[in-house]
Structure 1
Amino acid sequence: MKHAALSARMGGLRSSAIRDLLTLTARPDVISLAGGLPDPNFIPRERISRAAADALGDASSVQYGETSGLRHLREVIAARESVKIGRTLESSDVVVTHGSQQGLSLLAQVLLDAGDTVVVEDPAYTGALQVFRTAQATLAAVPVDADGMDTEVLEAKLAGGLRPKVVHTVSNFHNPRGSVLSLERRAHLAKLADTYGFWILEDDPYGELYFDGPPPLPVAALSDRVIRLSSASKVLAPALRVGWLHGDRRVCEAVELIKQGADLCGSSLTQQIAADLFSDTAWFDAHLDKLRASYGNRAKALVSALEAGFGDSARFSPVRGGMFCWMESLEPVDTAAVLDVAVEHGVAFVPGAAFGVDADLSLAARLCFATYPETVLEDAARKLCDAFRDASAQSRG
């Protein structure tokens, strides 16, 4: 029986390497540093339960809602984002999405035609790569270092004739690199957007999770050509599936129109829960303080154990916030080949090649420190060090 052909856009798509890896490493005896998963013990289930009970007292919580999101939630988000970007947002400037990943997908549909050029970071957030490949965009990679996207490289590419429609950046505590886009580069990127007329998608799910102090001004504070995205997943609960975006009113109205065809509306129930938690300022500020302190301690424990175990054979990115540490082996051992050995040792990670666009990241790896307490992370570091030693010895034959 002959099957009907799938659409042309399916030809270049592949499953996320990280999602596939999570399936392979879901063994109970494996400490997985592979996922970007919050510790479930830090998800405020009791407070969510109370908010859910209150929400269910209102019949509207189980009914269809506005496509753009619950008005009260948009008001709360607008107030919080206004403080960050230094200008007043109205609730009508905010679109609530089914997680920030949906926001990214909707923006691609609004802003991109097949063949349009999108600048992505290298290494890149894999979810963004999937979105842009689905949109049949042409990807142009710009390297990321300790200060975020190298905007000097971007400027040189623009001077050479590159004309992107969109530039995507994870500006704070980059996934996977862990870096923070410096204030100078933020200003430079904003200036380039104003000069060359491209849109910046400022993807910021980790910005609240800082350890030593808040990151610089959002890029959205420096240009009106920025669409800013964020999410409740990392600070409240992934299962709420609450994200949002704001920016140019015409773009947001177009996103809302496309969203009508995608899901009509989000969950009125989870949006009421999120609005309750975000608007309880004293509770939420204390909750964030706990997350910052706890994740900061975990980051220090993991990096200290890794540095002690690996010595001069690897280097690790400074961790200033977020959920990830970036590792670079200084010995010629492919981290993709190490992974199988590591799993047998009882630890897992994501090889750097999963995030690569043009760069050779075969010696790199992403490690998540958020999911486990310090003692487990120290054990994971020992297992990882042993796995790299064994894999290196095997490669030498």
Structure 2
Amino acid sequence: MTIAIIGTGVAGLGAAYALSRLHDIELFEASASPGGHVNTVPHGDLGLDTGFIVHNEKNYPNLTRLFREIGVETQPAEMSFSMACGCGLEWSSRRPWRAGPKLLREILRFLRTAGEADVAGKSFDRFVRDEGYTDAFRWHYLVPMTAALWSTAPGDALEFPASAGIEFFRNHSMLGLRRSRWRTVSGGSRTYVEALLHRLEAQVHLGSPVTSLARTATGVEIRCADGMLRSYDGVVVATSAPRALALLEDPSGDERRMLSAFEVTANETVLHTDARFLPRRRSDRSSWNYQSPGCGVLADAPSLTYSLNRLQKLDAGVEYCVTLNRTDEIDETTVIRVIDYEHPKTTFASLAAAGYARSFGVVRRTAFAGAWQGNGFHEDGLDSGLRAAAAFGASA
């Protein structure tokens, strides 16, 4: 069979890696470089990651196996968290006592008992009220942590399905006594994309945005922005769900219901060296640093700064930072790169549709893949790509 793969993020690359052993494949990527959220910016002799950065072996088993198969080296990464609120409170997982005894007791209570709570159909906002947590816990722990993990606005963090959030916290040992051991790709995440593509015997069309996808009696037809029409026996659509729906010339009712249940959030992301976006106290500076304008302030987007020096263990004399949604405040002389990212938005509707999407298989010669079929993380994207490949007969 000839199979087209639209999108070269981890979902598309995972599908390609599995399918290339069985079928003839071609990949299409709208941007000038492959990788999707794998975006390593070269800077001198450094490779600075701005999208996908960390993983762990427990929660990312397929990604870990892939790295081993293609010979990609990884190294330990520091995983720590800080938050600073406009009310004046600053604390970090490196110095948790700075949260104060009352908030710290609530955090420990949450980590100890949240998994036993009745959270069916509840948002985090409802969960906090039903379980008797304080506003301090809401604004100084749960909202910052949720907004940071899913790159989502504080208001959306409050509406986040509690069952999905708590399950993720528990599985990933977030701030618990038994912490996951996090790792990062040595030399930058781009290393694994290059290694994987080197192993593929496939044509990769970069800078070739697909504008439409039609299913016919004998195959699928893909039209690109250059007007070229190409025909294949099947297709894996490895894009965001809204983009996938927009590509389909004739979506079925099931496809429309499934794909329309998903939304994305946009985050303007800046790679820079302006250390003002890290905590004032160096002892609080962490891998993930969340900034809140104030208790109860529902900003339109999350404000978060990643410390690449800590995540990638950079031996550098300056602080390399990746900051979300504060572009205008960053000293422009420190800016290295500005990137726009989209992240899946988790809602009750998307959770229900994701379950259906994971069992969708191949219908009308079409399979769908993307991290939106899971929690929105790299392993979820790879899992979906492997499922799509398996639906076309490939071995995972």
Q: Identify which of structures 1 and 2 has the higher relative contact order when contacts are C-alpha pairs closer than 8 Å and 6+ apart.
A: 2
**TM-score, with normalisation over the residues of structure 2?**
0.29
Kindly indicate which of the two structures has a greater share of residues assigned to strand. 2
Structure with bigger helix share is 1
* TM-score (ref. length: structure 1): 0.29
